[in-house]
């Protein structure tokens, strides 16, 4: 019996989620399976992959063949690296302690990369939001300035007399100022 580690679809239309299952190769995609070892949700960024690494390792060591997608998931989290190192231990090329140390170092480096990717995505989203807010504020200020200009133009059209009266008022004050010294001189 050929055993595969593959995905089984579930979830609603256009919002698929997948179970990572160990199944007979002859069984239908969403049909009978031997064991469910995890889930995969591609609808979030980054995609959520949760599975039991020990059970996946067990099945890989007993000969189960992963599909291409599942192989990428297992490689991403180190199950294939663990299998590779364990095969080296079984052949006597390295000791178990060396294999465990190499795996721990690899996982620490990989976890740092994954975390930097997550923070990069969060920062990119925050930067996009800030840029959108700045652009929206700029448009809002431009519209407000245009509205103020239209209101000032409408006021100028509705009230042309105060502008003329204001122009006449300084002239009247100048005439009154010239007459005041003359009136004082005449009073003396």
Instruction: Say what the pLDDT of residue 159 is.
Output: 83
Q: Which has the closest alpha carbon to 49: 65, 73, 29?
A: 73
> Which of the two residues, 158 and 83, has the higher pLDDT score?
83
Phi and psi, residue 3, nearest 5°: -110, 135
Q: Is the torsion defined by CA of 55, 56, 58, 63 positive or negative?
A: positive
Asked if the 3-67 domain carries CATH number 3.30.1320.10, the reply is yes
Residue 163 banded pLDDT, cuts 50, 70, 90: very low
Phi and psi, residue 52, nearest 5°: -85, 105
Please provide the average confidence, as pLDDT, over all residues in the chain: 85
* Alpha carbon separation from 144 to 60, 131, 136 (Å, rounded): 66, 20, 12
Query: How many Å apart are CA 8 and CA 30, to the nearest integer?
Result: 5
Contact between 97 and 84 under an 8 Å Cβ cutoff? The reply is no
Pairing between β-strand 3-12 and β-strand 65-66 as defined by DSSP bridges: parallel
Domain ranges of the chain: 3-67, 111-169
Query: How many Å apart are CA 111 and CA 7, to the nearest integer?
Result: 24
Instruction: Say what the pLDDT of residue 172 is.
Output: 58
Please give the share of the chain, as a percent, with pLDDT higher than 70: 85
Q: What is the pLDDT of residues 122-150, one digit of tens each?
A: 888 889 999 999 999 999 999 999 999 99
């Amino acid at each position: 019996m050929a055993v595969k580690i593959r995905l089984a679809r579930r979830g609603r239309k256009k919002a698929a989620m997948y179970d990572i299952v160990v199944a007979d190769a002859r069984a239908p995609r969403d049909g009978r399976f031997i064991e469910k070892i995890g889930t995969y949700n591609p609808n979030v960024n980054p995609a959520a992959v949760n599975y039991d690494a020990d059970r996946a390792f067990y099945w890989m060591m007993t000969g189960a063949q992963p599909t291409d997608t599942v192989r990428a998931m297992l490689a991403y989290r180190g199950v294939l690296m663990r299998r590779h190192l364990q095969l080296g231990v079984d052949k006597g090329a390295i000791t178990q302690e060396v294999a465990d140390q190499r795996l721990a170092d690899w996982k620490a480096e990989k976890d740092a990369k994954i975390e930097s990717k997550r923070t990069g995505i969060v920062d990119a989203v925050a930067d996009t939001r800030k840029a959108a807010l700045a652009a929206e504020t700029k448009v809002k200020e431009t519209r407000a300035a245009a509205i103020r200009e239209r209101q000032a133009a409408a006021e100028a059209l509705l009230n042309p007399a105060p502008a003329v009266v204001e122009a006449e008022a300084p002239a009247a004050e100048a005439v009154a100022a010239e007459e005041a010294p003359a009136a004082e001189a005449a009073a003396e």
